Structure 1
């Protein structure tokens, strides 16, 4: 029987409403996302909060949708040169605080965690190079018909992923929010419906980062 990984507060990377994210205790290139106990979640009176309380299984639905989308894309692109615009997922691991989803981390050259698009936009440090990296990722999301339902600025991270021989090329990675998580899976109806949804997501992303979204070219600019 495999012993559970011990996740300590010192390894905590981020804490959202639903999940807490930790560095893997022995592998800096990996992150572990753990679903928070429902008793430790803040009480929210919006639609999502009410659904969580009355239908707790919906919290697991988001994880299933995330893995389903990852499998759909990766099984459709077995070629080794395929560059997935979203973070790779490696299954589940047992931890001292619950079952964890194992995923890759996006790191700076010095080994620290990469910055999010949201952090760069807030600090007004978003460079033209960063926008080029973001546009490259957005282009791959559209080209591969990836269903990304939560493209908020904090779900895009700049940095390097491990390619087996060390840090790979610098890029912008969608680390969360992919999968058709909506109650009515409109984006799964076809490429046309997903494209409409992606355009709407990019327009919101532009507003939240003070960028301009060009629907005709599917690119951002200042």
Structure 2
């Protein structure tokens, strides 16, 4: 069992806390925030029918991300393949509950990369980041990646050198539709991703226009 209760939270999601893996610096552990689930692993607002049809609704996001990564990795098994989503390694028991273990993506100095929102808000966004953002969405479309929401915090930018790097989707990927139409249809998923591209690129270009570096 991993002991995380005496470790600092290094990132927060809507319902999760993220910790550095205490035994492996290349990994992170995501656990539900305290008070967000009951003894059976259900979200507090999960209705009776949902509880009957689904087990442990608090962890449905974990399952969705693991399945999405497994399916994508099965199609790209080259060890050097660079996927547009973070690698998911499975689950681990911790003193804070069941955790999802996934890849720690780091900048060259070892720090956690900024999200797209952080780049925009801090004024560090440059024009070449927007070019990289287009490349990122091209990759998502080519790999038929299904994403679950439009949160600018869910993608991070990993710097790989001066004027060079890549975006990675780190949270809320995989299909959450009851009838997985976008998972079944690449055409429908491409349409959704193009809508997200316009939204994300539009906000990034707006940030540049407000005074980020050009």
Question: What TM-score range do you get, normalising by the shorter chain?
Answer: 0.7 to 0.9
Could you tell me how far 1:81 is from its partner in structure 2? 3.8
CA distance in 2, matches of 1:76, 1:93: 25
Secondary structure class of the residue paired with 2:46? helix
Distance 1:59-1:186 versus aligned 2 partners, 3 A rule: farther
Counterparts of residues 116-195 of structure 1 (less than 5 Å): 116-159=115-158, 170-195=165-190
CA distance in 2, matches of 1:177, 1:209: 20
CA distance in 2, matches of 1:16, 1:139: 26
CA distance in 2, matches of 1:85, 1:173: 5
Could you tell me how far 1:150 is from its partner in structure 2? 2.2
C-alpha contact (below 8 Å) 2:65/2:88 kept by paired residues: no
C-alpha contact (below 8 Å) 2:158/2:167 kept by paired residues: yes
Secondary structure class of the residue paired with 1:129? helix
CA distance in 2, matches of 1:105, 1:177: 16
Normalised by the size of structure 2, how large is the TM-score?
0.79
Could you tell me how far 1:144 is from its partner in structure 2? 1.0
Counterparts of residues 39-118 of structure 1 (less than 5 Å): 39-40=35-36, 52-54=45-47, 55=50, 57-118=56-117
CA distance in 1, matches of 2:199, 2:10: 25
Alpha-carbon displacement from aligned partner over 1:189-209 (angstroms, at most 9, x marks no partner): 311111111122223323544
Give the unaligned 5+ runs of structure 2: 38-42, 208-213
Counterparts of residues 23-38 of structure 1 (less than 5 Å): 23-37=20-34
Secondary structure class of the residue paired with 2:81? coil
Question: Which region of structure 1 is more displaced relative to structure 2, 197-206 or 70-79?
Answer: 197-206
Corresponding position of 2:210: none
C-alpha contact (below 8 Å) 2:130/2:205 kept by paired residues: no
Distance 1:206-1:58 versus aligned 2 partners, 3 A rule: farther
Q: Does 1:12 align with 2:5?
A: no
Corresponding position of 1:196: 191
C-alpha contact (below 8 Å) 1:180/1:188 kept by paired residues: yes
Secondary structure class of the residue paired with 2:17? strand
Could you tell me how far 1:87 is from its partner in structure 2? 0.5
Normalised by the size of structure 1, how large is the TM-score?
0.76
Could you tell me how far 1:12 is from its partner in structure 2? 0.9
Compute the RMSD of aligned alpha carbons.
Answer: 2.7
Could you tell me how far 1:112 is from its partner in structure 2? 1.4
C-alpha contact (below 8 Å) 1:151/1:177 kept by paired residues: no
CA distance in 2, matches of 1:170, 1:208: 19
